[in-house]
């Protein structure tokens, strides 16, 4: 056992030192909580080096879309309505559809999408998460379709000039999960309920190897405490498995409606706060350690999308049932950029708006 621990520690240190060499620009964390009574909640934090003018959007079914990568863009019609969070008002960074599928885009420095295949249609990476939300109800359905690589992804630079190197996580109301990474021009998919945590570099397979050391040590003995991706992965893995999976009699009286679903959402948000970086904290020479801008918790059983801003004093939520997402309904927006403040159920605060344009990509 001691020899195994030394080997794992050596691997952990080697990966840890390699992480220090990465100068990524975004540091986010994603978790999936599976409780009792059918409760599944996906949590996510968005960490970035600057404000990204995020807003919430309600997209109904039936929207005609394209991949924003003319002239050979993929086109589709949305099968499902969704609530999403935009990034720079030019991409879908996060969201949940009315079937309970959740999509999260996180930074991955190692991403390499390869050269476009002239025989396939293309999409801009700004539309990747939205494509999944528009087209799939379950992770299994998405994996079956995307494993065939029906399109090529092109990653243009972000509006601030940074590279759009991203990987995608999907989770559904059954607790199923999948991680999608493009490495060396090839799509790698990790599919299974065991993949409940995702952060950033290194690639997911190496994150799993690194985390095995910390699981062997045990989170009640020691947890790594920096804001680097591998440390957040270890802390998030321990915490998402440590929080209660049923009503906690010690705290339930303080929960709205004494609801287990609300308790679970609060627990997931607390996990996301525990792996967040305080607002304004920056580390010289470590741009991958960026402040947390916002956090979400998506209740996939009851279809409620919770939003927790690091720059606002309140948590608010959006029950998808309170939005009109049927085909032909008006696209609506909830403005949160510029310091807008909301509390409680904010579904009635959405207003009609012209949709943002997805960041276009060029085939070169």
Q: Where are the alpha helices (DSSP H) in the chain?
A: 2-20, 128-135, 139-146, 204-217, 229-242, 260-274
Tell me which of 28, 39, 197, 361 is the catalytic residue.
28
Q: Are strands 315-319 and 344-345 parallel, antiparallel or unpaired?
A: parallel
Cα–Cα nearest to 73, from 332, 360, 328: 360
Q: Residue 130, SS3?
A: helix
As given in the structure block, the two tokens for residue 42 are: 């996906």
d(CA 342, CA 356): 22
Total H helices, total E strands in the chain: 6, 20
By the 8 A CB rule, do 314 and 41 touch? no
d(CA 298, CA 320): 11
Cβ neighbours of 204 (radius 10 Å): 25
C-alpha of 194 from chain center: 16
29 is catalytic: no
Burial of 62 by CB count in 10 Å (0-12 exposed, 13-18 middle, 19+ buried)?
middle
Question: DSSP readout, 136-183?
Answer: -SSHHHHHHHHTT--SEEE-PPPTTS----EEEEEE-TTS-EEEEEEE
Q: Which residues are catalytic?
A: 28
């Amino acid at each position: 056992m001691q020899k195994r621990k030394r080997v794992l520690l050596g691997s952990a240190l080697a990966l840890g030192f390699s992480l220090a060499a990465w100068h990524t620009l975004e540091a986010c964390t994603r978790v999936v909580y599976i409780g009792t009574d059918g409760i599944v909640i996906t949590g996510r934090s968005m960490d970035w080096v600057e404000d990204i003018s995020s807003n919430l959007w309600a997209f109904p079914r039936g929207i005609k879309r394209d991949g924003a990568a003319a002239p050979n863009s993929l086109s589709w019609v949305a099968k499902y309505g969704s609530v999403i969070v935009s990034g720079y008002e030019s991409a879908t960074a996060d969201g949940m559809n009315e079937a309970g599928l959740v999509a999260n885009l996180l930074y991955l420095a190692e991403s390499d999408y390869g050269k476009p295949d002239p025989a396939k249609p293309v999409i801009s990476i700004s539309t990747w998460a939205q494509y999944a939300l528009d087209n799939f109800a379950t992770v299994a359905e998405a994996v079956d379709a995307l494993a065939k690589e029906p399109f090529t992804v092109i990653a243009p630079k972000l509006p601030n000039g940074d590279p759009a190197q991203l990987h995608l996580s999907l989770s559904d109301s059954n607790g199923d999960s999948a991680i999608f990474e493009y490495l060396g021009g090839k799509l790698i998919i990790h599919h299974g309920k065991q993949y409940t945590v995702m952060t950033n570099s290194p690639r997911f397979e190496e994150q799993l190897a690194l985390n095995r050391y910390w699981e062997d040590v045990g989170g009640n003995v020691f947890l790594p405490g920096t804001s680097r991706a591998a440390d957040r992965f270890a802390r998030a893995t321990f915490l998402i498995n440590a929080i209660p999976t049923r009503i906690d009699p010690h705290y339930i009286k303080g929960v709205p409606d004494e609801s287990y679903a609300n308790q679970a959402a609060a627990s997931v948000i607390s996990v996301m706060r525990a792996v967040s970086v305080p607002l304004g904290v920056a580390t010289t020479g470590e741009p991958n350690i960026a402040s947390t801008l916002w956090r979400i918790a998506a209740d996939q059983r009851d279809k409620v999308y919770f939003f927790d801003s690091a720059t606002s004093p309140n948590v608010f939520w959006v029950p998808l049932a309170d939005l009109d997402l049927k085909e032909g309904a008006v696209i609506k927006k909830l403005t949160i950029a510029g310091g807008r403040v909301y509390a409680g159920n904010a579904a009635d605060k959405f207003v009609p708006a012209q949709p943002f344009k997805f960041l276009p990509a060029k085939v070169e």
